[in-house]
Amino acid sequence: MGVDLAYAPEVTDLVGKTRAFTREVVLPIEDANGGDITAAGSDGLRVDLQKAAREVGVFAPHAPVEYGGLGLNMTDRAPVFEEAGYSLFGPLALNIAAPDEGNVHLLAHIADDEQKEQFLAPLARGEVRSAFAMTEPAPGAGSDPSALTSRAEKVPGGWKINGHKYFITGADGAGFFIIFARTSGQSGDRGGATMFLTPADVPGLKVGRHIDTLDKSMIGGHCEVFFDDLFVPDSGVLGEVDQGFRYVQVRLGPARMTHVMRWLGAARRGHDIAVAHVAQRDGFGGKLGDLGMIQHMVADNEIDIAATRALLTQACWELDQGEHASNATSIAKTFAAEAIFRIVDRSIQMCGGLGVSADLPLARLSREVRPFRVYDGPSEVHRWAIAKRAVGAAKKAAREANA
């Protein structure tokens, strides 16, 4: 049976429009501000760029059609998101940046009709931003979400939430939060969590300091957030009580893949810059690009780009079939996070002194993509999960063979 990897004409057209918009409109703004979204204008810039994206028909390619999006599935998102990611500000312009893109996906699948109108609709239209509050300082939830310590207690008409969150992307200026809190059991239990929806401007919710991190392109920073007897009505429960760990899988796998898509675009830009440089730079009796050592790095970058796309395609196909795709997304995320960094790092090396200077964007690309080996699950945690599944399958096969 043949496998058709071609995209529909409308997707190919969207990819072309996104490529032109990103390179002609967005990249000059990124370069003028050194990739720093705060220096570039933060939410004011977001509004302007999203308006421009709407005008050329590339806005919200992932969002449901009924909420103003283009309704692309995971497979069709990949080349569009990659082209947007060619600029660090491109995803923001298309309203496909983290965490909003993942929250749109989650709400579209889990929220009830009233919640969709209150939270999903304005988020998909770019009228507000959002935050996903799960990570906590030690000993709370981090790479191990079962360590969740933030707690929601049932009270008449709703819930009161208390807790301290950490590294919450986009928290400063978010219009609403999706909060992950324990509603039963104790820290370390694999169940007993619930997701809650709340507007940001309510008593008991405080956004604290920005945690200074390597990356500077994510709007709203990575912040501490505090909940002090935050009241959320029963209508703010997202999904069912105590089922948060199950529901969060709806978000995590796809969000990891869209991170791959976006940052692969950034890595491709780095590679393109390096190849253009070595093709023209004279040295050692010829062009640098004619030297075997340079050609080795160029080839390795090409291999990493192709392999990342292949693993991404497999994982997205599984997600589009309605599968959890836990193994495929872990494999793709782990490989991609490391390959993307390798691509940018080799590109810096090929450009020598220019590569580590602000005269080229390579140094800031390195700064931006390095955290991906930590964000959305460190490589080591994904490797542990991949190995655990493989060994578990082998043990099951042995038991069945000996039965």
The pLDDT, as a whole number, for residue 5 is 86
Q: Is 305 found in the same domain as 286?
A: yes
Q: Is 256 found in the same domain as 205?
A: no
Quote the tokens at residue 260: 């791959």
Name the least confident of 63-72, 111-120, 172-181, 184-193.
Answer: 184-193
The pLDDT, as a whole number, for residue 282 is 95
What CATH number did the domain enclosing 148 receive?
2.40.110.10
Q: Which residues pair with 231 in a beta bridge?
A: 160
Burial of 297 (0-12, 13-18, 19+ CB in 10 A): buried
Write out pLDDT tens, residues 40-52: 999 999 999 999 9
Using CA atoms, how far residue 76 sits from 10, 82, 165, in Å, is 10, 11, 34
What CATH number did the domain enclosing 396 receive?
1.20.140.10
The pLDDT, as a whole number, for residue 189 is 86
Domain residues for 283? 246-402
Q: Does residue 19 surpass a pLDDT of 60?
A: yes
Q: Is 55 found in the same domain as 26?
A: yes
Strands (E), 220-279: 222-233, 237-238
For residue 3, name the pLDDT band (cuts at 50, 70, 90): confident
Does residue 176 sit in helix, strand or coil? strand
- Residue 150 in domain: yes
- Residue 119 in domain: no
* 242, 272, 292 - which closes a domain: 242
The pLDDT, as a whole number, for residue 236 is 98
The pLDDT, as a whole number, for residue 109 is 95
The pLDDT, as a whole number, for residue 4 is 83
Q: Is 397 found in the same domain as 279?
A: yes
The pLDDT, as a whole number, for residue 338 is 98
Q: Does residue 403 surpass a pLDDT of 90?
A: no
Write out pLDDT tens, residues 124-135: 999 999 999 999
Q: Is 277 found in the same domain as 177?
A: no
Q: Is 303 found in the same domain as 342?
A: yes
- In 3D space, the residue among 398, 302, 401, 399 whose CA is nearest the CA of residue 350 turns out to be 302
- Residue 3 in domain: no
Count: domains in the chain: 3
- Which helix (DSSP H) or strand (DSSP E) does residue 40 occupy? helix 37-40
Whole-number average pLDDT of the chain: 96
Quote the tokens at residue 358: 């602000």
The pTM for the full model equals 0.95
Q: Does residue 190 surpass a pLDDT of 90?
A: no
The DSSP symbol for 292 reads H
Q: What is the mean pLDDT of residues 269-297?
A: 97
96 in Cβ contact with 258 (< 8 Å): yes
- Residue 205 in domain: yes
Write out pLDDT tens, residues 377-398: 999 999 999 999 999 999 999 9
Cα(250)–Cα(254) distance, rounded to whole angstroms? 7
Q: Does residue 1 surpass a pLDDT of 60?
A: no
The pLDDT, as a whole number, for residue 2 is 66
Quote the tokens at residue 1: 């049976």
The pLDDT, as a whole number, for residue 200 is 98
The residue whose two tokens read 């392999």 is 307
Q: Does residue 56 surpass a pLDDT of 60?
A: yes
Q: Is 19 found in the same domain as 69?
A: yes
- Residue 114 in domain: no
80 in Cβ contact with 11 (< 8 Å): yes
For residue 363, name the pLDDT band (cuts at 50, 70, 90): very high
